[in-house]
Amino acid sequence: MEIIKLREDYIKLGQALKAGGLVGSGVDAKFVIQDGLVKVNNEVEYQRGKKLVDGDIVEYDGEQVKIEK
């Protein structure tokens, strides 16, 4: 599981997917989120701008990224 350290209070879902290496670009992130392929804390998430905070877990394509403060 990849760990993303927060520099601010939160990171947006699309940014987290890129930072964690799960997608190659923001456009890729947009499409996989729109298609319902991304889960946040085991729930499908459709908002690219969803704010992720400490403890959130993002899952896509069998890979997971954990957000930590």
What is residue 61's predicted lDDT score, i.e. its pLDDT? 95
Percent of the chain scored above 70 by pLDDT? 100
Question: Residue 66: helix, strand or coil by DSSP?
Answer: strand
- Provide CATH code, domain 2-68: 3.10.290.10
Cα 58 to Cα 16: distance, rounded to the nearest angstrom? 8
Arithmetic mean of pLDDT, 16-35: 96
R_g (Cα) of the chain, nearest Å: 10
Alpha helices in the chain (DSSP H): 13-19, 26-34
Residues 41-55 have a mean pLDDT of: 98
29 band by pLDDT with thresholds 50, 70 and 90: very high
